[in-house]
């Protein structure tokens, strides 16, 4: 069997101008999704070349579901002190909670600087240092590859923040451990499922590419069950549209007659969910629940990312 030769290309051969070429390319939905998958944050682009006083940040965005501000600074060169200073300036000026620095090559002192910032700030601000490479196999189209060099230490941050807030109990500590292990399991076995930063709580949100609903995973330590649900925070109309296709939806998901449809009268939110048994206090049962949650989340994301309003 003949194999192709992998060749690394120079970024400037493909994107000659950072603002006009690369920033515009990155802001397109399919391309920003590549970065979202790598850093594990749902990114919705708001504006390119957004003004911050006398300066312009390359991309101003927000996180799916939460609306937290994200700034992205592009540097198709080796990291330098100037861009590091700009990042801090932009973050302060826009009160950003996620800062992403995309570069061609990383100097060790700048990796250490971002590691230090992540270590000494709480989870209200998060720094990512991302190296970009461009690869080609023989005459194939160039393929971009993002590689995260520095990111927040999610476990340590969640524990530290919760301890400072005084709400870390034995149960929430174990919930955090559960979600962290789920994230590691998914990264190894279901790499297409990019999960966000875990927190010490009984739920875990997963974006599906739309603003009016998302997947929510729940670990119920009292009933020894995990749940995967579509959470609709503020749209009875969407719930009714989905309810009209209940049989089709349950059949496509593989849970015919097994799902709970909860309109929650008197509340704005609605839930569509399915359950799976496990033992919260028996960690030997966790891997089975991780597999079920991962597979079910992917099914939910594929099905409910469609625009059912137009179905």
pLDDT digit string, tens, across residues 157-175: 555 555 445 556 788 889 9
Angstrom distances, CA of residue 50 to CA of 59, 89, 203, 227: 7, 13, 34, 40
Query: What is the tens place of the pLDDT at every residue in 73-90?
Result: 999 999 999 999 999 998
- Whether 152 has a pLDDT exceeding 50, the answer reads yes
Report how far residue 253's alpha carbon sits from residue 261's, in angstroms, rounded to the nearest whole number.
14
Residue 186 has what pLDDT? 93
- Whether 69 has a pLDDT exceeding 90, the answer reads yes
| Backbone torsions φ then ψ of 172, nearest 5 degrees | -70, -30
Of the pLDDT bands very low, low, confident and very high (cuts 50, 70, 90), residue 98 is: very high
Angle at CA 73, nearest 5°, toward 68 and 74? 140
The overall average pLDDT reported for the chain is 88
- Whether 154 has a pLDDT exceeding 70, the answer reads no
Residue 157 has what pLDDT? 56
What domains, with CATH codes, occur in the chain? 6-152 (3.40.1350.10), 155-310 (3.30.1460)
């Amino acid at each position: 069997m003949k194999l192709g030769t992998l060749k690394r290309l120079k970024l400037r051969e493909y994107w000659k101008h950072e603002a006009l070429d690369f920033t515009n390319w990155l802001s397109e939905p399919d391309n920003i999704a590549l970065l979202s998958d790598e850093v594990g944050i749902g990114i919705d682009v708001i504006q390119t070349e957004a003004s911050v006083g006398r300066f312009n940040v390359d991309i101003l965005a927000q996180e799916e579901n939460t609306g937290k501000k994200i700034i992205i600074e592009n540097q198709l060169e080796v990291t330098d002190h100037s861009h590091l200073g700009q990042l801090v300036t932009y973050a302060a000026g826009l009160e950003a909670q996620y800062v992403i620095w995309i570069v061609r090559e990383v100097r060790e002192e700048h990796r250490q600087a971002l590691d230090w910032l992540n270590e000494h700030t709480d989870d209200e601000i998060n720094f990512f240092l991302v190296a970009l490479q461009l690869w080609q196999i023989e005459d194939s189209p160039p393929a971009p590859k993002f590689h995260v060099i520095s990111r927040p230490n999610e476990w340590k941050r969640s524990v530290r923040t919760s301890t400072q807030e005084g709400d870390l109990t034995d149960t929430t500590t174990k919930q955090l451990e559960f979600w962290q292990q789920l994230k590691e399991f998914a990264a190894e076995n279901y790499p297409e499922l990019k999960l966000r930063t875990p927190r010490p709580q009984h739920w875990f949100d997963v974006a599906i590419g739309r603003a009016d609903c998302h997947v929510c995973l729940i670990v119920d330590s009292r009933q020894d069950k995990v749940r995967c649900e579509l959470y609709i925070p503020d749209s009875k109309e969407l719930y009714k549209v989905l309810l009209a296709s209940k049989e089709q939806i349950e059949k496509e998901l593989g849970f015919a007659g097994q799902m709970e449809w909860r309109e929650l009268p008197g509340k704005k939110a609605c839930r569509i969910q399915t359950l799976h048994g496990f033992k919260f206090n028996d960690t030997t049962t966790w891997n089975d629940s991780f597999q079920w949650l991962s597979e079910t989340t992917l099914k939910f994301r594929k099905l409910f990312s469609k625009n059912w309003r137009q179905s």
